[in-house]
């Protein structure tokens, strides 16, 4: 690898890990175990300057003078560092009060997953706990700065976060996320007892009081200034249009006008109608689209009865997929995927499921989290598509394989490239149909339901953040144009409100992967090999969609 480029790649990875220390630990990088994410304006400004310098240095390298792999690395580095810096320029900590992305949920969701390999790691996590107070105080300061500049969050998000904070503060100290961290195997019982006592002392003296201060500041300072639901989108901020265009570029890697994305979503929703009628006639006895949606949404026979059933069907789907993948993939991940339940605090506001990549040091496998709360609102027919998306062959295959590509620079194995990552997982929902993984036509209906959901994201995300739609408009649109359950629709809309642009990545990424596959099939004719296509897509690590197109075309030409 070009020496200068290698230095820049290592520098970028170090910056990324230092600014996201909890994520670093989850990936198996223990250099920053004693740190927490710093939301202060000063830290933000330093990181922007460092990223801008990296982009300038990488752009100065002549791609024609680099080997092919290095030229790709240069392009990915410019994209990753540049869009990260632009994201920071939008100053999200000034208005980020969100039930999924807020700093309180970082503690609740990720701290229990930390895995100390040595006694030093365990000791560092105690230091991490001691810094929660300073981090939350910085977060409070940024929110007050936002209020002073009329950059405030939507009221519905604030109210949900207050509910989460109240639930945390009402929970027993013994259930605190920091106390869920398990000691390494090599520690003596005496050392473990002392370590647990130190951690509990910090939970009682630092962590819990920090949550209480954060809750008070949000209730007293932010809630009265919060935006009404009619102004839920980022476009209602003075710099909202620019911030949204940055988000679109970061999450899709495409230079698309939000209004064009909106139309892609509308056209996609319309195109699904015939598939719904075909399956509806087979499994529901009706071809009437509103009636199909109503039955899928309201029929209690299509719902789970218990959380155990939700978990069991997810486990069965993963097992079926794992048995079939060798016929469709030449390269398989070595790291296993295990099923976990979403933690109780915040679960009611959490998505249906999510995936946590494995730790690069092998200390933790890939983890597919499934939401088992309120099981009677969880649909049986969507469970399988969810498992194929989040687990196998979706996120787990892509993210675990990327980590195992040791010939790639570290930052490329863990690059954001959201449209690639989420586009692949959504591609797998349709691929699963080709692979014969769905257990019946009713379960195939879940594939259509999720397609409606992802096309609907293009409409509602751009609707709220570019066209000024209200929260209720977004909810009404998804209700009229998908069979999603009401609680899922509300949670998803609130997710789009708090994470502008991210929801666009799924469908736009899937569309591009399908387009590239069709293009390669035309070029290769009878020589087209689905294993070769999948291996080409998966072994390059996460890349912007334009880079992926070049790699697939090179494979087809070769």
H-helix or E-strand containing 98?
none
State pLDDT tens for residues 476-515: 999 999 998 888 899 899 999 999 999 999 999 999 999 9
Contact 260, 502 (CB under 8 A): no
**246 vs 373 pLDDT, higher one:** 246
pLDDT bin (cut points 50, 70, 90) of residue 14 is very high
State pLDDT tens for residues 115-157: 899 999 999 999 999 999 999 999 999 999 999 999 999 999 9
501 sits in the region (left: phi over 0; alpha: psi -120 to 50; else beta) called left
Contact 456, 475 (CB under 8 A): no
Whether this prediction's pTM lies above 0.85 is answered by: yes
Contact 477, 459 (CB under 8 A): yes
d(CA 20, CA 14) in angstroms, rounded, equals 10
d(CA 290, CA 281) in angstroms, rounded, equals 13
C-alpha neighbours within 13 Å on the C-beta side of residue 374: 14
d(CA 488, CA 450) in angstroms, rounded, equals 12
Q: Do the bridges between strand 366-370 and strand 337-341 make them parallel or antiparallel, or are there none, so unpaired?
A: parallel
Helix (H, G, I), strand (E, B) or coil at 328: coil
What pLDDT was estimated at residue 345?
66
- Site of tokens 């649109």: 477
Those residues whose C-beta lies under 8 Å from the C-beta of residue 494, and which sit 6 or more positions away, are 99, 156, 157, 160, 349, 471
Helix (H, G, I), strand (E, B) or coil at 396: helix
pLDDT bin (cut points 50, 70, 90) of residue 346 is low
Is residue 343's pLDDT more than 90?
no
Contact 370, 340 (CB under 8 A): yes
How many C-beta atoms lie closer than 10 Å to residue 270's C-beta? 11
Contact 104, 212 (CB under 8 A): no
d(CA 171, CA 166) in angstroms, rounded, equals 9
Q: How far, in Å, are 349, 350, 484 from residue 488 at the CA level?
A: 9, 9, 6
Taking Cα atoms as reference points, which of 505, 502, 491, 469 lies closest to residue 157?
491
Taking Cα atoms as reference points, which of 331, 321, 320 lies closest to residue 537?
331
What pLDDT was estimated at residue 105?
92
Is residue 349's pLDDT more than 70?
no
Question: Which of 178-187, 338-347, 499-508, 529-538 has the weakest average pLDDT?
Answer: 338-347
Contact 142, 41 (CB under 8 A): yes
DSSP string of 116-139, one letter each residue: --SHHHHHHHHHHHHTHHHHHHHH
What is residue 221's DSSP assignment? I
d(CA 318, CA 338) in angstroms, rounded, equals 9
Residue-range domain boundaries for the chain: 3-238, 241-511
d(CA 458, CA 264) in angstroms, rounded, equals 7
Mean pLDDT across the chain:
95
* pLDDT, average across residues 182-186: 93
d(CA 193, CA 199) in angstroms, rounded, equals 10
Convert 465-498 to b/e letters by CB count within 10 Å (16 or more is b). Answer: bbeebbbebbbebbbebbbbbeebbbbbbbbbbb
What pLDDT was estimated at residue 363?
79
pLDDT bin (cut points 50, 70, 90) of residue 170 is very high
Written as six digits, the tokens of 47 are 């990181």
Helix (H, G, I), strand (E, B) or coil at 289: helix
DSSP H helices in 482-525 = 486-498, 505-524
Written as six digits, the tokens of 256 are 């698309």
* pLDDT, average across residues 338-351: 77
* pLDDT, average across residues 457-467: 98
State pLDDT tens for residues 259-268: 999 999 999 9
Taking Cα atoms as reference points, which of 83, 6, 49 lies closest to residue 502?
83
Cα distance from N-terminal residue to C-terminal residue, the chain: 23
d(CA 546, CA 542) in angstroms, rounded, equals 12
């Amino acid at each position: 690898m070009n020496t200068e480029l290698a230095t820049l790649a290592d520098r970028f990875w170090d910056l990324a890990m230092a600014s996201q220390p909890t994520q670093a630990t989850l990936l198996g990088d223990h250099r920053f175990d004693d740190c927490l994410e710093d939301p202060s304006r000063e830290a933000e400004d330093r990181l922007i300057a460092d990223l801008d310098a990296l982009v300038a240095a990488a752009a100065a390298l002549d791609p024609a003078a680099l080997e092919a792999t290095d030229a790709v690395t240069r392009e990915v580095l410019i994209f990753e560092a540049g869009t990260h810096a632009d994201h920071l320029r939008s100053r999200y900590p000034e208005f980020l009060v969100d039930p999924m992305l807020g700093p309180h949920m970082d503690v609740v969701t990720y701290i229990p997953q930390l895995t100390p390999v040595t006694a030093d790691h365990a000791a560092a996590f105690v230091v991490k706990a001691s810094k929660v107070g300073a981090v939350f105080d910085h977060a409070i300061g940024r929110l007050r700065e936002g209020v002073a500049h009329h950059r405030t969050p939507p009221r519905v998000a604030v109210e949900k976060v207050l509910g989460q904070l109240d639930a945390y503060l009402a929970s027993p100290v013994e259930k605190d996320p920091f106390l869920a961290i398990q000691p390494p195997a090599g520690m003596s019982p005496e050392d473990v007892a002392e370590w647990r006592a130190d951690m509990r002392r910090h939970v009682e003296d630092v962590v819990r009081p920090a949550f209480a201060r954060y809750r008070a500041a949000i209730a007293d300072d932010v809630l009265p200034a919060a935006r009404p639901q009619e102004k839920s989108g980022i476009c209602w901020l003075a710099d909202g249009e620019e911030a949204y265009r940055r988000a679109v570029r970061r999450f899709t890697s495409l230079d698309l006008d939000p209004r064009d994305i909106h139309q892609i979503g509308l056209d996609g929703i319309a195109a699904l109608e015939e598939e719904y009628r075909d399956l509806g006639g087979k499994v529901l006895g009706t071809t009437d689209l509103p009636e199909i949606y109503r039955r899928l949404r309201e029929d209690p026979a299509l719902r789970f009865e218990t959380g155990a059933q939700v978990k069991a069907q997810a486990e069965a789907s993963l097992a079926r997929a794992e048995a079939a993948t060798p016929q469709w993939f030449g390269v398989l991940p070595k790291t296993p995927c295990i099923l976990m339940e979403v933690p109780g605090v915040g679960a009611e506001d959490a998505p249906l499921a999510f995936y946590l990549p494995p730790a690069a040091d092998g200390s933790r496998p890939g983890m597919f989290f499934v939401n088992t709360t309120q099981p009677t609102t969880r649909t049986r027919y969507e469970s399988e598509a969810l498992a194929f998306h989040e687990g196998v062959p979706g996120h787990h295959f892509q993210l675990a394989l990327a980590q195992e590509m040791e010939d790639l620079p570290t930052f490329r194995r863990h690059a954001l490239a959201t449209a690639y990552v989420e586009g692949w997982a959504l591609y797998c929902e349709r691929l699963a149909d080709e692979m014969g993984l769905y257990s019946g036509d009713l379960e195939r209906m879940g594939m259509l339901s999720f397609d409606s959901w992802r096309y609907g994201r293009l409409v509602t995300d751009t609707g709220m953040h570019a066209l000024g739609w209200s929260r209720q408009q977004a909810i009404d649109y998804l209700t009229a144009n998908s069979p999603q359950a009401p609680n899922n629709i509300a949670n998803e809309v609130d997710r789009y409100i708090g994470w502008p642009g991210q929801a666009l990545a799924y469908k736009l990424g899937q569309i591009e992967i399908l387009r590239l596959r069709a293009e390669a099939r035309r070029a290769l004719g009878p020589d087209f090999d689905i294993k070769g296509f999948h291996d080409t897509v998966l072994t390059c690590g996460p890349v912007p969609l334009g880079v992926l197109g070049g790699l697939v075309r090179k494979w087809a030409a070769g």
